[in-house]
């Protein structure tokens, strides 16, 4: 049983809630710094706000105020002479840092993305997409109509896979398969890593034609001769005959009926010996802390019926599609690999 607040801890609870409620201030400040490329400008040493403003096209005093605010939680540091310098946390804002999250932060700072969250109340009251409510069209239709937004989204998807790929490779035995079809595989970062780890394997990268057209270097470096690129929709027929079909972070964008349709199309393309692996976050039980629970709100806000799911919910989708659930393999990332076979 949770105890009620006492007079002594009310003020600390209020302070904690205010910190939580002001989170969007911090988020947008970080996103603006990432979009301007401030961390890249500081790679060779401290600089004044005036010098940084000249390099980034910002207003000098306004940029100073931004950077001063960011120092309060460890993103950048201000020197005694009023210049700004890097901190370990700021390295995540650098474009070429191994720890870079800049593509994510640029995406989160885009008005088409964060603006949708201002309609969260609409989603919670209706169960409908806040993005559709605010923009008048579905998220992926918006990307088709706005190539710059599609580029920003695609850059984060590629970087996201880069951050996750080693955990996936460590958790799953890909050596069992001779050929792999990556369905909705984007620019091919995951498929490329799998093929590099298994020199005798053949791969097929399947995604929308406009996505496939830009799936070139550097993602497919060294494996292009073993990777064919096929354009199409996973709501239609898929390339047939693969030993393994991969759906990485695809199903969480779609409602149950559309997810079953995607799974059925995978089943139709699979041979009897084939396997399917669905790579998603799996929502754990009550009160367990997990990234999937907050990400599920993002799915509610952005997508038409998108959601994160529990293990039982994924099993139900798989069985509705005529596939047989076999196992769930956790990784050291928030992702799990949900394996199924045909029949």
* 36-49: average pLDDT: 97
Residue 218 — pLDDT band, cuts 50, 70, 90? low
> Quick one: pLDDT at residue 271?
94
Question: Is it the case that residue 121 has pLDDT exceeding 70?
Answer: yes
> Quick one: pLDDT at residue 89?
97
Q: Please, what is the average pLDDT of the chain? A: 93
- pLDDT tens digits for 14-42? 889 998 999 999 999 999 999 999 999 99
Question: Is it the case that residue 80 has pLDDT exceeding 50?
Answer: yes
Crossing angle (nearest 10°) for helices 7-21 and 23-36: 30
> Quick one: pLDDT at residue 310?
97
Q: What is d(CA 41, CA 46) in angstroms, rounded to the nearest whole number?
A: 9
> Quick one: pLDDT at residue 1?
47
Give the percent of the chain with pLDDT over 90: 86
Question: Is it the case that residue 216 has pLDDT exceeding 70?
Answer: no
* 81-92: average pLDDT: 97
Of residues 70 and 10, more confidently modeled: 70
Where do the domains of the chain lie?
A: 7-94, 122-342
Pick the CATH number of 122-342 from 3.30.465.10, 2.60.40.10, 3.40.50.150, 3.30.499.10: 3.40.50.150
- Let me know how long the chain is: 343
Of residues 187 and 110, more confidently modeled: 110
> Quick one: pLDDT at residue 221?
75
Give the percent of the chain with pLDDT over 70: 96
> Quick one: pLDDT at residue 343?
72
Crossing angle (nearest 10°) for helices 23-36 and 60-71: 130
Question: Is it the case that residue 277 has pLDDT exceeding 80?
Answer: yes
**Cβ neighbours for 20, distance < 8 A, ≥ 6 positions apart:** none
Q: Supply the residues annotated as catalytic.
A: 252
Of residues 108 and 10, more confidently modeled: 108
Let me know if domain 7-94 sits in CATH 3.40.640.10: no
Q: Which two tokens stand for residue 149?
A: 């937004």
> Quick one: pLDDT at residue 213?
79
Of residues 110 and 6, more confidently modeled: 110
Q: Which two tokens stand for residue 10?
A: 């009310």
Q: Residue 94 pairs with which residues in a beta bridge? A: none
Q: Which two tokens stand for residue 150?
A: 């599609």
> Quick one: pLDDT at residue 6?
62
Q: Which two tokens stand for residue 27?
A: 């988020």
> Quick one: pLDDT at residue 7?
61
Query: Are 27 and 66 within 8 A, CB to CB?
Result: no
| DSSP state for residue 213 in the 8-state scheme | T
Residue 219 — pLDDT band, cuts 50, 70, 90? low
């Amino acid at each position: 049983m949770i105890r009620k607040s006492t007079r002594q801890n009310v003020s600390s609870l209020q302070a904690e809630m205010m910190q939580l409620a002001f989170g969007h201030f911090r988020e947008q400040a970080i996103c603006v710094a990432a979009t301007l490329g401030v961390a890249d400008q500081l790679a060779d040493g401290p600089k004044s706000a005036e010098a940084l403003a000249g390099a980034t096209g910002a207003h000098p005093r306004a940029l100073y105020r931004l950077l001063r605010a960011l120092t309060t939680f460890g993103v950048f540091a201000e020197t005694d002479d009023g210049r700004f310098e890097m901190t370990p946390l700021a390295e995540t804002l650098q474009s070429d840092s191994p720890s870079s999250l800049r593509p994510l932060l640029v995406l989160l700072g885009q008005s088409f993305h964060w603006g949708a969250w201002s309609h969260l109340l609409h989603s919670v009251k209706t169960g409908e997409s806040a993005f559709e409510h605010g923009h008048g069209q579905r998220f992926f239709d918006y990307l088709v109509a706005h190539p710059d937004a599609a580029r920003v989204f695609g850059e984060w998807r590629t970087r996201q896979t880069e951050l996750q790929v080693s955990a996936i490779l460590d958790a799953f035995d890909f050596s069992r398969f001779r050929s792999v079809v990556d369905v909705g595989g984007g620019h091919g970062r995951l498929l490329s890593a799998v093929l590099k780890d298994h020199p005798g394997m053949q791969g097929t990268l399947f995604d929308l034609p406009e996505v496939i057209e830009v799936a070139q270097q550097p993602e497919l470096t060294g494996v292009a001769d073993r990777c064919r690129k096929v354009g199409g929709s996973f709501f239609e027929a898929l390339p047939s005959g693969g030993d393994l079909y991969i759906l990485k972070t695809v199903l969480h964008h779609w409602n149950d009926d559309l997810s079953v349709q995607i799974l059925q199309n995978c089943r139709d393309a699979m041979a009897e010996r084939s396997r399917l692996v669905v790579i998603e976050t799996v929502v754990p039980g009550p009160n367990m802390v997990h990234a999937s629970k907050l990400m599920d709100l993002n799915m509610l806000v952005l997508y038409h019926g998108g959601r994160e799911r529990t293990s039982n919910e994924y099993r139900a989708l798989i069985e509705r599609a005529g596939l047989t659930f076999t196992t769930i393999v956790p990784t050291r990332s928030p992702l799990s690999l949900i394996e199924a076979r045909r029949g």
